[in-house]
A and B are shown apart, each in its own frame.
Chain A
Amino acid sequence: MPLSYISRRLFHLLLILLGVSVLVFLMLRMIPGDPAQLLLGEYARPEELARLRTQLGLDRSYPIQYGIYLQSILRGDFGTSVRTGAPVVDEIGVRLLATIELSLAAMFIATLLGIVAGVISAVKQYSVFDYGSMFLALIGVSMPIFWLGLMLIYLLAVKFPILPMMGRISMGLEAPAVTGLVVVDTLIAGQLGACGDALRHLLLPACTLATIPMAIVARITRSSMLEVLNQDYVRTARAKGLGEAVVILRHALRNAFLPVVTVLGLNLGLLLGGAVLTETIFSWPGLGRYVVDSLMGRDYAAVQGCILIFAVLMALINLIVDLLYVLLDPRIRVHA
């Protein structure tokens, strides 16, 4: 991939980030209710409010506030959380990793199961499996996911306590943080039991989060496979005497991947959004919950930081999807 292409993408990203930062800044200030009032709650006295506003720099004009913000960002400082007084970067870091762990797990489940279900449905078109899994997929995209999450907790953690209902790992099993992903950290520390425990904790929230993308991936894989299975080159592969598994996996699936990858990329973005609800239900200490809490708490710097992180993540995902295209399909060449 040519360097000029990447640098152009990066320039684009910078522009969008700048735009997003202005947008978020303005939108935050358009929300009625000020941070000082929220911090002090129903017991606030006017003079205390005024003092806090001054301390927080909220009494300055918007352009000046934005200028200060932009300056500090350029210095790599995302500001300080109004609520906790801690640097936003620190606040975001840990939670971001928790969200990434959850999203990756969900993505993994969604991709794996979605593709398997899609491929089988396509190969056995009009079979009971096909109808069954496609009906389930439809239900999956039609269901409020917070409802599903609560039902899963009730069924699998309370009624039949098979899985833990919250948190990332059982008390006392924590491994030293290296990557910030608990599952990986426990592996690095060689604590297989703890890793298993972390995986069990991951299962319910990840499955909940995976429902919608899994359904979408299954549907898109199926339709894409159906299209590909009718292609002449699949017939050619069969005519060569190749086994059915090789025909489907090597010749058909590989070609069916392209639309699936597009959808996967779009869905990773969806996952970041879906995490807002899932993290609340499963008490997962992630960024989705944090950004909503920060928004409700008018923690300007925190919200601004989170959204910028989201924007960068989205851009990264798009870039990865584009790279995958090139890897998957030799016909695509990047035009710089």
Chain B
Amino acid sequence: MPRLEIVSNLGRNRSATVGLLIIAVVLLVALIGPRLAPYDPLVPAPLDRLKGPGPVHYFGTDSLGRDIFSRVLYGTRISLVIGLISVAISLAPGTLLGLLSGYFGGWVDSLIMRGMDMLLAFPAILLAIFITAILGPSLPNTMIAVGIVYIPHYARIVRSSVLSLKEQLFVQAIAHLGGTHARILGAHILPNALPPIIVYATLGMGTAVLQAAALGFLGLGAQPPQPEWGAMLSEGRQYIQLAPHVAAFPGAAILLLVLGFNLFGDGLRDVLDPSLRSR
């Protein structure tokens, strides 16, 4: 599909437009948020703790008296980075493994796919917990853990599109004309296998943010005092009655960002790859 057409189709797709709008706003906030923040997100003011939302603190303060609005603004950057890096970590090896597996088949395929099956035998969150336990809890390690967990998903998707592409005539023709494996894979198969990967990666960013938040809930994610939304939300669960705003705002922020990724991903799928319907 010509690129221009994709763009114009995306523009006409309502869910893609709304999703893109949300992502753009979040991105903007990530870029200029720190300038908008009225307070330092890291400096506690324990005597002002758990203040409700109001004109002084728009979103109220947390249990250490920090301004939640400022923390949510700063946290935007972290959440976006979590989404991007985690997906990048699953994407690169996942794509490579899927390409190799699908293209060469045989024992390479068996080996890679059995390995992926082994990873898939773990429930996702459990594998993530496992990996963070090994690496130690920290934000980068959270991203690595979430990234590794989803490698098999990408490998499978790429493998299946490679399998169908491989059978298509043009690839076989190139192979007969004496293209090297690397060239065929890189220049011919990969570009054609991209649409489902792009769609899955977009949706995957939302999943990654949620998974990271779940790890934060278990105390394995971002380290204090970093204003990561999942960790803030998880801190707020203690104050559900006393100060519901502590959890409400970071929770809403997560919901919004993930919603943005999901909407955009849905739209992309409709435009790029209508056959990829299962989420």
Contact = CB atoms under 8 A, between A and B. Distances in A.
Do the two chains touch directly in the complex (Cβ atoms below 8 Å apart)?
Answer: yes
A219 B114 contact: no
B277 A146 contact: no
Contacts of A315: 121
A27 B133 CA distance: 9
Contact of B114 (A19, A141, A270): A19
A142 B206 contact: yes
Contact of A292 (B129, B210, B258, B259): B129
B273 to A, nearest CB: 13
A30 B266 CA distance: 39
Given A16-B114, A142-B255, A216-B279, A292 B126 contact: yes
B217 to A, nearest CB: 5
B210 A20 contact: no
A92 to B, nearest CB: 14
Contact of B123 (A142, A216, A219, A276): A276
A255 interface: no
Nearest to A303: B130
Interface stretch (B51-59, B96-104, B163-171, B233-241): B233-241
Given A216-B279, A273-B124, A146 B133 contact: no
B278 A266 contact: yes
B120 to A, nearest CB: 7
A311 to B, nearest CB: 4
B87 to A, nearest CB: 16
Q: Which 6 A-B pairs have the closest CB atoms?
A: A273-B123, A311-B121, A142-B258, A142-B259, A273-B125, A19-B118
A223 B117 CA distance: 28
Interface in B211-265: 213-214, 217-218, 230, 233-234, 237, 240-241, 247, 251, 254-255, 258-259, 262-263
Interface in A290-320: 291-292, 295-296, 307, 310-311, 314-315
Contacts of B213: 144
B277 to A, nearest CB: 5
Contact of A154 (B240, B254, B258): B240
A259 interface: yes
B111 to A, nearest CB: 11
A224 interface: yes
A314 B117 CA distance: 10
Contact of A220 (B210, B258, B279): B279
Interface string B84-126: 0000000000000000000000000000001101101111111
B177 interface: no
Nearest to B149: A273
Given A147-B251, A276-B129, 9 more contacts: A19-B118, A23-B118, A32-B134, A142-B262, A158-B241, A273-B124, A273-B126, A307-B121, A307-B126
Contact of A307 (B122, B218, B233, B263): B122
A292 B214 CA distance: 13
A67 B159 CA distance: 35
A146 B214 contact: yes
A224 B123 contact: no
A147 B259 contact: no
A31 interface: yes
A153 to B, nearest CB: 9
Interface in B176-228: 206, 210, 213-214, 217-218
A272 interface: yes
Interface residues of B, number: 41
B229 to A, nearest CB: 9
Interface of B: 114-115, 117-118, 120-126, 129-131, 133-134, 136, 206, 210, 213-214, 217-218, 230, 233-234, 237, 240-241, 247, 251, 254-255, 258-259, 262-263, 266, 277-279
11 contacts: A16-B118, A20-B122, A31-B134, A141-B262, A146-B214, A220-B279, A263-B278, A269-B120, A270-B123, A276-B126, A307-B122
A288 B124 CA distance: 12
A89 interface: no
A307 B120 CA distance: 11
Contact of B126 (A146, A262, A291): A291
Contact of B263 (A32, A138, A314): A138
Contacts of B266: 138
B262 A138 contact: yes
Nearest to B123: A273
Contact of A139 (B115, B234, B259): B259
B240 A144 contact: no
Contacts of A143: 255, 258
Contact of A272 (B123, B130, B258): B123
A314 B121 contact: yes
Given A16-B118, A276-B125, A144 B133 contact: no
Given A220-B278, A262-B278, A295-B130, A144 B118 contact: no
A311 B119 CA distance: 10
A276 B210 CA distance: 14
A311 B120 CA distance: 8
B125 A144 contact: no
Nearest to A141: B262
